Amino acid sequence: MTGQNFGDILKAAGSKEIEVAKNEVAIFKHFVQERKHPLDLVRELLANSGAREVGATRIEISYTKDREGHIFEVQDNGCGMNFTGNQALPGRLDRFLGLGMSGIVGQKSDEFAWKGLGAKLAYQSKRIEIETRFTGHPLYEVRVNEPWDTIKRNLIPKPRISEHQEPDAASHTTVRVIGHPPHRQEQPFSMEEIKLFLLHRTFAGFTSHRDTPPEIVLSVLGSVETLPFGFPEFRQVQWRDGIWPSDDGRTLFVNICPASSKKMRVRLKGLLTWNPHTYSLSLDSLNTGLILSSKGIPYFNIDLEELGARGITHANPGIEKTCLVAECDEIHTEMNISRSDLVDSEKTVEFKNVLSDLLGELERSSEYLQFRQAPKHAKKIATADALAAEKLRIEQDDQTWAVLKRPGQPPLVLMREPANETEVTGLLWKLEALGALPFAQFQTLGYPGATSGPDIFAHFREDQSSEPGRCVVFELERNFYNYKAHGHHSSQYPRIICWDIPTSGRKVRLNGTNKEYKYTVVMDDYQVHVFVLRKMPNVDVLTRVQLRQQGVNI
């Protein structure tokens, strides 16, 4: 708008109230209240500016918030809106201000027009301000005060319009909506929120080819970005007809339509992937599942499972790894006022049947069946690689080995130095079988830790002067750091067997005893006993080189 005070402009220009075309106010209110998201207004105003008939090469979208509420503005350098004041022969501005169903009563509509929805949503506000110039016509400035409050009282808002003779002014249109909707006073939208919506639910995220797309600039609370045109997940794809995998087989691209020319023209387009992060797919990003796109604008999601796509829906690869778009221009008339659902009609049934057939074609294709196997194939390769890496590590000269060194005998290799709790268990049992544990009795009874509960039950007697215990509970760990981190209670798990007690990273204080391999820790008024395998008599750690030097090859 110009830098002058709007009221001053109206006075100087001799503004006047105008009558607008209207249907029943109650019906109008009902339609507007069906909208599901406050940003639907921006979607519709952007569609108005992006229509081919408007011819805009630059569209600016601005958003801010003040004490009056959320403020949205869309400005374009297109053809502008002319005004006739004649309901029988309305101009673009007449149609925008009118409350009638212009697309139904036979008046010519622009490319994306749908019952004048953009203008209708604008009326759900505290104020509307419009500035527009159509080539060869005056510059018009319009103000509609308290439109929604007026409509709620079952009255018709009366726009005030003024005109200025500015022959040198370029054609353009600016629509500013203040306090939309009047009842919303929550925190402002962020740049990311609005950008995400624009790129996945509006003309900015166009899913088809556009020869000369306009430049779209977004300003949110003073931060400005130029939006790349087109549906973000599709921009880098070299589209061709058919179904084909990516080079690594972990993404499947789809671009198919019915073979019969007699069927409704529906195109199923998009991708399924085992690598959703590559395409920034997430359930919160408006880019997963199946999205309806009509005349190139993505509008809302359609239930894949309802259409019979159970394989895709149920983990093959799943909704969160699916980004499909159903493009169909013919279904445009079957969308309801909020464009967030389809009406129940014969054409809707036909659309869903054709789409269901396309999804069936996808799920039966050899390309999809092979794509489903990609995780298993990748797991097989990863397992083989892990095995190769593990074998390579264990064959290195610096690999350390747990050995038993009894007097007068060569070192007995027990196993590699434990790398996990399971290997600690294996080492413990070897020492038990060899009678090399420094206890008067240690007899394993069970290993419930393989599933849940304590790691080992054992008959246990620490030394000849100790009381024998039956079915004693032991907790096993590779390295002892912090007892509480495992979620155990010291009263239930008072004994621990571990491989080692590193000093770095330990969270509790260990108290030594007269036994080199035994320590105590006071926990919650209980004394926990910690037995360290590495420090037990005759247990040592040697490298492969050291073993060779003592005549042992492994």
**What type of residue sits at position 198?**
L
In the predicted model, what is the mean pLDDT of residues 107-129? 82
Q: 24 pLDDT band (50/70/90 cuts)?
A: low
Q: How far apart are alpha carbons 179 and 63 in whole angstroms?
A: 11
Q: Which of 194, 324, 305, 317 is nearest to 266 (CA)?
A: 324
16: pLDDT strictly greater than 90: no
Structural domain boundaries in the chain: 6-227, 232-374, 400-541
Q: Is the dihedral of CA 435, 438, 439, 445 positive or negative?
A: negative
Model confidence over 395-429: pLDDT tens digits? 898 899 999 999 989 899 999 999 999 999 999 99
The percentage of residues in the chain with a pLDDT greater than 90, rounded to a whole number, is: 65
For residue range 353-381, list pLDDT tens digits in order.
999 999 999 999 999 999 999 988 777 77
Average pLDDT over residues 272-278: 96
**145 or 19: which leads in pLDDT:** 145
Entry pTM: 0.71
Report residue 290 CA to chain centroid gap: 14
Instruction: Transcribe 180-239 into DSSP letters.
Output: SSTT--SPPPPHHHHHHHHHHHSGGG--S--SSPPEEEEEETTEEEEEPSS-GGGTT---
Domain at 232-374, CATH from 3.30.460, 3.30.2310, 3.30.230, 2.60.120: 3.30.230
- Mean pLDDT on 515-522: 93
| Burial class of residue 544 (count of CB atoms within 10 Å of its CB; 0-12, 13-18, 19+) | buried
Within the chain, what is the greatest distance between any pair of CA atoms? 116
Please tell me the distance from the alpha carbon of residue 21 to that of residue 13, in angstroms, as a whole number: 24
State mean pLDDT over 316-324: 96
Average pLDDT rounded to a whole number, residues 61-85: 95
Give the pLDDT band (50/70/90) at residue 390.
Answer: confident
pLDDT digits (tens, 9 = 90+) for 202-260: 999 999 999 999 999 999 999 999 999 999 999 989 999 999 999 999 999 999 999 99
The size of the chain, in residues, is 554
Give the domain 6-227 fold: Heat Shock Protein 90 (3.30.565)
Averaged pLDDT, 148-152: 90
40-50 and 191-201 helices, crossing angle to 10°: 50
- Find the helix or strand (DSSP H, E) in which 473 lies: strand 469-479
Please tell me what DSSP assigns to residue 264: -
Tokens of 68: 């009056």
